[in-house]
Chain A
Amino acid sequence: MTSPSSDPPRTLVLEAGRADLQYWRDLWRYRELFLILAWRDVAVRYKQTVIGLAWAFIRPFMTMVVFTVVFGKIAKLPTEGAAPYAVMVFAGLLPWTLFASILNDASTSIVGSFSLISKVYFPRLIVPLSTVLVAVIDFLVSLVILAGLMLWYGVVPGWQILLLPVFVMLTLVCSIGPALWAAAVLVKYRDFRFIVPFVTQIGLYISPVGFSGKIVPEQWSLLYSLNPMVGIIDGFRWCILGGSSPIDGPGFALGMGVIVVLLWWGIRSFRRSERAFADLI
């Protein structure tokens, strides 16, 4: 989005099925749109709500309380090392919520902004990516709750906490792939509007969010790691709870492999169907 004078006019060729060489450059040029769409979503979300931003705190906090009571107190599942159950749950809930909200919001984002997509050009990746930014902002709010919980229980993180940003990035990478794929498919098959929330709902219970991944029997653990969120949640707990929650090496590597494949697949699907979005919407 440079002004015309600073950008020497170059000839753009439009042809059917032509790989758009300028796409990634455009994506960079439209970075302000990306920011402003994210800002719009955040600004609009809490308009006309009474307690506004407090909702961002209440939702994850209540989920944590319920999980701690159900899994820790009622089912009496073991925590990891000496960590308080609530902190362990919250450390798992953080990446999961980030993943699930990206998947839910990004997958419906293309259909949701049909009026933009059918009226102006911009790299379509901007739309799902801006919902990612919104989810990251919510995530940062939840981090504050985590800090509060850790203070309350007197949990002192080790040096591992410095690696937390790495795992946050991994969560983003992990969710963007499936989200892009779902966003592209949803343009044609609106059924996915119902399928995606269902998947994230089920995923919440089969991923080690409310319980520790260590309770999965040894012989199944590698298979269980095919769910890329298993490795990521383990990673979060390792960062937050320090040494008391070690990462399982091979399982983690497998999960990362799955993430890379999903990301590649998601971007490929999205880029392929993107040019037809305005035709189909």
Chain B
Amino acid sequence: MSDVVIRSDKIGKKFRIGHRTADQGSFREAMLRGPRNLLRGAVDLIQGRSVVAGDSVEEFWALKDVDFAIRRGEAVGVIGRNGAGKTTLLKILSRIIEPTEGRLEITGRVASLLEVGTGFHPELSGRENIFLNGAILGMSRAEVRRRFEEIVDFSGVEKFIDTPVKRYSVGMHARLAFAVAAHLEAEIMVIDEVLAVGDSEFQARCLDRMSEVANAGRTVLFVSHNLAAVMALTKRALVFNAGHLFFDGPTEAAVSHYSASLSKGSSDRNWGRGRNATLVSATVVDADDRPDHRVDNAVRFVVDACSPDGIPYNFKQSAGQGTLAMRLGTPLRFAALPAPDPG
């Protein structure tokens, strides 16, 4: 389909760890590891190849066999616990790092926002930093100049625009940084957890801005631990767990899968067994799988059993009058969202 703007085909990323901690001493190590390694190290060095000089390196896959396709104009959430590989995926998409295996096809300009204020220089003024940061994010000078007023307005720091950024408060710094990023014009926006900064009023403004962007027909990939924000901004989400794409589908279902991956191990898929939950809406099906009726009022229930994929589809009401069967894949909405992964 020509409408697909990002197609990921068995993407994998392998990191070498262990040598990272020995960064400082690695040259000496390479020299001390005996003649064979020394020679190899010297050849690598002359060729400018930064390979690890040593036999035993710990390797691990931060991403493995990740397949998905995203169509033009889709807003897709990316969720998963810390270290699941979300940032790694975004870095591959934005060409910061290279995949170790697999193939990725991207159509259109990608603007990536892995942090706000990348490259801000404390000695430069707010005005100067807008131009600097804009250029770093891939905006042309003309583009920044055209949108300069808007950026300053959005940031709300016009009084301090000629003050060095080192005199800004953390919040002002974040506002200015997000303001530049919010005015990026690219077909594909890739946004990591960048909203954890600023006061709640500003965060709300950022979310508004992002839904504007998403509704303007741009393709957005949005990583966040703020599940409410993900649910508000996206219809579809990818759930990552330990480097694997664990689930790809409607955001509501993704959120419950994420909760499943939060529970101890990924093998333990019995999410919420015996726990209380509030059903907000559901479609109840009869024995022939035909939709029977919708439940829209809140009903308290206790999870009795789970489908292998973690969606509770069999539960009984807390009053204990029998069980309700629910078709898998039926959108589930939970009033009380699982708490975000801390830290």
Contacts and interface: CB of A to CB of B under 8 A. Distances in A.
B49 to A, nearest CB: 6
B141 A32 contact: yes
A9 B137 CA distance: 18
Given A116-B119, A189-B27, A191-B27, A121 B112 contact: yes
Contacts of A32: 135, 140-141
A270 B48 contact: yes
Contact of A190 (B27, B96, B102, B128): B27
Interface stretch (A55-63, A93-101, A148-156, A273-281): A273-281
Contacts of B185: 3-4
B107 A188 contact: no
Contacts of A187: 50
Most buried by A among B27, B110, B143: B27
A187 B106 CA distance: 29
A212 to B, nearest CB: 33
B276 interface: no
Contacts of A33: 135-136
Contacts of B51: 188
B250 interface: no
B222 to A, nearest CB: 17
A22 B336 CA distance: 48
Nearest to B103: A15
A76 interface: no
Interface string B129-145: 00110011111110100
A219 interface: no
B132 A36 contact: yes
A47 B123 contact: yes
Given A43-B128, A189-B27, A120 B104 contact: no
Interface residues of A, number: 52
A265 B115 CA distance: 35
Given A11-B107, A44-B121, A115-B118, A121 B96 contact: yes
B27 A273 contact: no
A278 to B, nearest CB: 5
B114 A120 contact: yes
Interface in B89-109: 91-92, 94-109
B23 interface: yes
B186 interface: yes
B26 interface: yes
Interface of A: 1-4, 7, 9-17, 30, 32-33, 36-37, 40, 43-44, 47-48, 115-122, 181, 184-185, 187-191, 265-266, 268-270, 272-273, 275-276, 278-280
Interface of B: 5, 15-16, 20, 23-24, 26-28, 30, 45, 47-51, 91-92, 94-110, 112, 114-115, 118-119, 121, 123-124, 128, 131-132, 135-141, 143, 185-187
Shortest 6 CB-CB contacts between residues of A and residues of B: A269-B48, A188-B50, A121-B95, A9-B108, A14-B104, A189-B27
11 contacts: A1-B139, A4-B186, A14-B104, A14-B106, A15-B103, A116-B118, A122-B136, A185-B48, A189-B26, A270-B48, A278-B97
